[in-house]
Structure 1
């Protein structure tokens, strides 16, 4: 009962802190962490959340990864494969190496494999933390898409290294770089195949479930199912969840307007509540970490400060190197293209749920006795989490404003306008085609042409005028054929936007905003 009360309390706190965050312009997930720290520090409070650490990732990561992955597209990943490889694989590997070397020099009694486990624990920026903190900040879409791409895949690299290093520590084995690479490659290939299969199964089931609510419920079960299946097959559950989300999103059809609206609202609620519980849990579990450290806490914190500097320094050096490589690039997707953007990307290397889960999942014992320096490794991991999450989370909006690295509103509006024009052209072409093949009354044809011509204003989100409402009522009263043509034209517009979303260089979120307005227009006129 205590666990249930705690979960309900964290959900309620998340809802309230969303409003506080909006008013104070602070990221509410960071406020959730601070609330958890305050609640956990209350004297006499029993251990709030007795949850097996091995359940933290399977419970929280799949739905949050799925929600984040739905905002991107295969086309964007194909265009960004180099940056994904450099950030999600190479940067993680370099960070693991640097942290492991630092830990070997600082922590007494630590083994090489335990040091590598620490490096894997703190290396990957968390996709949930990055999306929750950086998403609401008005920064260029190029930067946010780089962070999203990095966050969706770097956990896969870190998890493979962490699991291998922990196993080698527990069983007194040795780490093998070729073995790690082979395991990582096989895990990714198997996860991609599994994600595609699960997406096909989900589409097959969805075709036989006509209720939009039931189909939305299926999408909630799906990320858990594919994650657990991948873990059982020793594949990457992270990659499997991302692939199934991307595959389902790319297979979305133009006539699924009602389903998209239901799922969007459904997943907005799920993401808010799960994120709130997850970040609240981070704050509450810090109390257990402090208690486990005991009187050695000051010494451990001193070592943690050095590791934090190494983690941030490695990311800063990497982003400066990336800036020097791409500053002359002509691609609209290139980032960072300025030193200021490199600073912002460095500041957005926030650790979160994955780091906490891996820290708490360290075994207590090995075949030869206690796990080497376990308490200190947990303190260091959680310290890196706090330093990279709380500080950047509270200062990122100010940093973006001071550096002048703000979203290019004109560029975003131009991207939406281009998609809107494509949708309007597709709708007018469909109306003209139906005029040639159907006996459409002249009055109805004129009204349809006027309405489809005004589609650009409608897709911008402008409210319908009284005249437009009268047109709708007139068409509903007696012009069934005109309604059919209008629905057909809107379907053509939706299909054009979905087609554009799959094209390289098209911002998926801009396409989603236009598609959302088309879906609303379709449902309202249905």
Structure 2
């Protein structure tokens, strides 16, 4: 009962802190971590939420990864595969090496494999934390999409290194660079296959389930199923969940307007509650980390400060180098293009659930005795989590404003306008074809031309005028035919936007906003 009360309390706190975050312009997940720390510090509070560390990632990561991946597209990943490779693989590897070297120099009694395990714990920015903290901040879409792309795949690299390093530590073996690379490549390829197979199977089921509630429920079960299946096959569960979300989103049908609206609302609620519990759990678990450190906590925190400096420094240098390479690129979607953007991207290396889960899952013993410096490694990992999450979480909005790296509203509106015009042209083309079939009365043609002429304004959310409503009511004789042609025209518009979403260079967020308005018009018409 205590566990249930705690979960319900964290959910309620998440709902309340969303409002607080809106008023204070602070990311509410960072406020949830602070709340968890405060609650955990209450004297006499029992360890009610004693969750097995091995369950943290399977319980929280799949749904949150799935929700984040639905906001992007295959086309975006194909266009940015170089950035993904540099950030999700190369930067993670460099950070692991830098942290491992630092730990070997300052942590007494640590071995090389244990130091590498520490590097793998703290190297990857967490996709959930990045999305939760950076998502609400008004920054250019180029920067946010870079962070999203990095966060969705870097856990795969870190998990492979961590599992290999821990196994070598426990068994007294050695690390093999070639073995790590081979395991990573095979795990990623297998995960892609698993993700595509599950996505196609899910699409087959969705096409045969008539109940919209059942179809939405399937999307909730799917990320857990594909994650567990991939892990059982020793593939990357992270990559498998991302692939299944991308593939399922890319095959969305034109006539699924009601499903898209229902699932959007459903996943907004799921994401809010799961994120709240997950970030509250981070704060609550910090108490047991401090208790395990005991009297050595000050010395461990000093070492943790050095590792935090290395983690932040490596990312800052990497982003500065990326700016020097990208600033003269002809591709306007590349980032960072300015020194200010490099500073923002360097500051957005938030660690989260993955770091906590890996730290708490360190085994207590090896074949040679106790796991080397286990308590200190956990303290260091959690310190990096707190510094990189709370610091940017509370200061990122202010940093973005001070540096002037605001969202380019004109560019975003231009992207939406282009998609809106494409949708309007597709709708008018379909409507014109129906007119030529001589099945429409003259008054219906007149009404349709007037309403379709306002489609661009309707897609922007402008309501129809009172005069237009009265005129449409006066044409009841042709209402059935008008509705059919409007539905056909709107279907053409949705088809055009869905096709545009799969094109390189099209912002999936802009396409989703236009598609949502078209879906709303379609559902209201029905």
TM range (shorter): over 0.9
Provide Cα deviations, 1:77-102, integer angstroms capped at 9, x if missing partner: 00000000000000000000000000
Q: 1:256 and 2:259 equivalent?
A: no
Q: Rate the CA distance shift 1:126–1:439 in 2: closer, same or farther, 3 A.
A: same
Q: 1:157 and 2:131 equivalent?
A: no
Give 1:462 deviation, angstroms: 1.4
Partner residue in 1 for 2:448: 448
Residues of 1 paired with 2:276 and 2:27: CA distance?
11
Q: Rate the CA distance shift 1:474–1:372 in 2: closer, same or farther, 3 A.
A: farther
Residues of 1 paired with 2:449 and 2:230: CA distance?
51
Alpha carbons 1:431, 1:485 under 8 Å: kept: yes
Alignment of 1:6-17 (within 5 A): 6-17=6-17
Partner residue in 1 for 2:100: 100
Give 1:479 deviation, angstroms: 2.6
Alpha carbons 2:67, 2:271 under 8 Å: kept: yes
Alpha carbons 2:447, 2:472 under 8 Å: kept: no
Give 1:57 deviation, angstroms: 0.1
Residues of 1 paired with 2:473 and 2:221: CA distance?
41
Give 1:477 deviation, angstroms: 6.2
Alpha carbons 2:126, 2:352 under 8 Å: kept: yes
Alignment of 1:285-304 (within 5 A): 285-304=285-304
Give 1:107 deviation, angstroms: 0.6
Partner residue in 2 for 1:192: 192
Partner residue in 2 for 1:397: 397
Alignment of 1:133-152 (within 5 A): 133-152=133-152
Partner residue in 2 for 1:381: 381
Q: Rate the CA distance shift 1:440–1:5 in 2: closer, same or farther, 3 A.
A: same
Gap regions ≥5 residues in structure 2: none
Give 1:439 deviation, angstroms: 1.4
Gap regions ≥5 residues in structure 1: none
Alignment of 1:491-506 (within 5 A): 491-506=491-506
Give 1:463 deviation, angstroms: 2.2
Q: Rate the CA distance shift 1:438–1:253 in 2: closer, same or farther, 3 A.
A: farther
Alpha carbons 2:427, 2:493 under 8 Å: kept: yes
Partner residue in 2 for 1:32: 32
Give 1:446 deviation, angstroms: 1.2
Residues of 2 paired with 1:188 and 1:5: CA distance?
39
Partner residue in 2 for 1:429: 429
Provide Cα deviations, 1:243-272, integer angstroms capped at 9, x if missing partner: 000001100111100000000000000000
Question: What is the SS of the residue equivalent to 1:310?
Answer: helix
Partner residue in 1 for 2:210: 210
Partner residue in 1 for 2:67: 67
Alpha carbons 1:472, 1:525 under 8 Å: kept: no
382-391 or 474-483, larger mean C-alpha shift: 474-483
Provide Cα deviations, 1:384-432, integer angstroms capped at 9, x if missing partner: 0000000111000000000000001000000000000000000000000
Alignment of 1:337-486 (within 5 A): 337-470=337-470, 473=473, 478-486=478-486
Alignment of 1:511-526 (within 5 A): 511-526=511-526
Runs of 4+ in 1 over 4 A off after TM superposition: 471-478
Give 1:468 deviation, angstroms: 3.7
203-212 or 283-292, larger mean C-alpha shift: 203-212
Give 1:438 deviation, angstroms: 4.1
Alpha carbons 2:36, 2:283 under 8 Å: kept: yes
Alignment of 1:297-312 (within 5 A): 297-312=297-312
Alpha carbons 2:443, 2:478 under 8 Å: kept: no
Q: Rate the CA distance shift 1:475–1:123 in 2: closer, same or farther, 3 A.
A: farther
Q: Rate the CA distance shift 1:103–1:482 in 2: closer, same or farther, 3 A.
A: same
Alpha carbons 1:475, 1:482 under 8 Å: kept: no
Q: Rate the CA distance shift 1:468–1:372 in 2: closer, same or farther, 3 A.
A: farther
Give 1:475 deviation, angstroms: 5.8
Residues of 2 paired with 1:447 and 1:207: CA distance?
35
Alignment of 1:55-94 (within 5 A): 55-94=55-94
270-279 or 451-460, larger mean C-alpha shift: 451-460
106-115 or 479-488, larger mean C-alpha shift: 479-488
